Amino acid sequence: MKKQGIDARALKLDVVSEADRAATANAIGREFGRLDILVNNAAINLDQGASLETSTTPAKTLRDTFDANFFAVVELTQILLPLIRKSKAGRIVNVSSAQGSLSLLAPKGSPIYATKTFSYDASKSALNSFTLHLAHELQETPIKVNSIHPGWVRTDMGGPQAPLGLADGAKTSVRLATLPDDGPTGGYFHMGEALPW
């Protein structure tokens, strides 16, 4: 990346590790003194590939999924928020999923109606709630907080049959991470379109 003129640094961050979260905040604070953009893009789907019914989903599956997809994201955001408050235009992007939209999951005929994965879907709905609450708390600041659905992306989780490559999957995150001062906050978006909660 240095050959391309990009000064990139790598930090080890296992989002479910309290020690890693603290070390990340300390390293950013020490080196830069502020954080302009936080894209929360950590997620696991332990329902995937399993024939789990909602009524038989093990409690451990729910807890492990929520630990990675919700609690770790909330705790990382909380520990980094003092650094984001020092930015002139802080941006927080929570990478959710269309599966986190109760409005899209509920009606028969919806394109995702039949693809219910309880622990993953519930964790992303909780993440959307966090987005709404944090955006409300920060509405009088320059910080903007939004949720996004990246689309079905070819990753380890998305699988090789997914229609979007990594560059396309990142487009919505990049757009929301670089919003102008009059951009939205407390929204839920995919490729420039608002999604229903």
In the predicted structure, residue 1 carries a pLDDT above the cut 80: no
1 vs 140, higher pLDDT:
140
All domains of the chain in start order, with CATH: 35-194 (3.40.50.720)
- Residue 181 backbone class (left: φ over 0; alpha: ψ -120 to 50; beta: rest): alpha
- Taking the C-alpha atoms of residue 183 and residue 69, their distance in angstroms, rounded to an integer, is 26
Instruction: Give the alpha-carbon dihedral of 136, 139, 143, 144, to 10 degrees.
Output: 60
Q: Residue 47, CB half-sphere, CA atoms under 13 Å: how many?
A: 23
What's the confidence (pLDDT) of residue 3?
A: 78
Stretch 102-118: mean pLDDT: 91
Closest CA to 175 of 155, 149, 154, 153: 149
Q: Is 2 exposed, middle or buried (0-12, 13-18, 19+ CB in 10 A)?
A: exposed
Instruction: Answer whether 45's CB lies under 8 Å from 65's CB.
Output: yes
104: number of Cβ within 10 Å: 18
Active site residues: 120, 124
Residue 170, pLDDT score:
75
Within 10 Å of residue 93's Cβ, how many Cβ atoms? 25
pLDDT tens across 127-186, in order? Answer: 999 999 999 999 999 999 999 998 665 566 666 775 556 666 678 889 999 999 999 999
Burial classification of residue 196, based on how many CB atoms lie within 10 Å of its CB (0-12 exposed, 13-18 middle, 19 or more buried):
exposed
Per the model's pLDDT, the better-predicted residue between 70 and 47 turns out to be 70
pLDDT digits (tens, 9 = 90+) for 7-54: 888 899 999 999 999 999 999 999 999 999 999 998 998 976 565 788
Give the pLDDT score at 139.
97
Gap between the Cα atoms of 84 and 135, Å rounded: 13
Q: What is the C-alpha to C-alpha distance for residues 166 and 185, in angstroms, rounded to an integer?
A: 25
Across the chain, the runs of DSSP E, i.e. the strands, are 37-40, 91-95, 144-148, 188-190, 193-194
Q: How far apart are CA 164 and CA 148, in angstroms?
A: 15
pLDDT at 57 over 70: yes
Check if the beta carbon of residue 78 is closer than 8 Å to that of residue 145. no
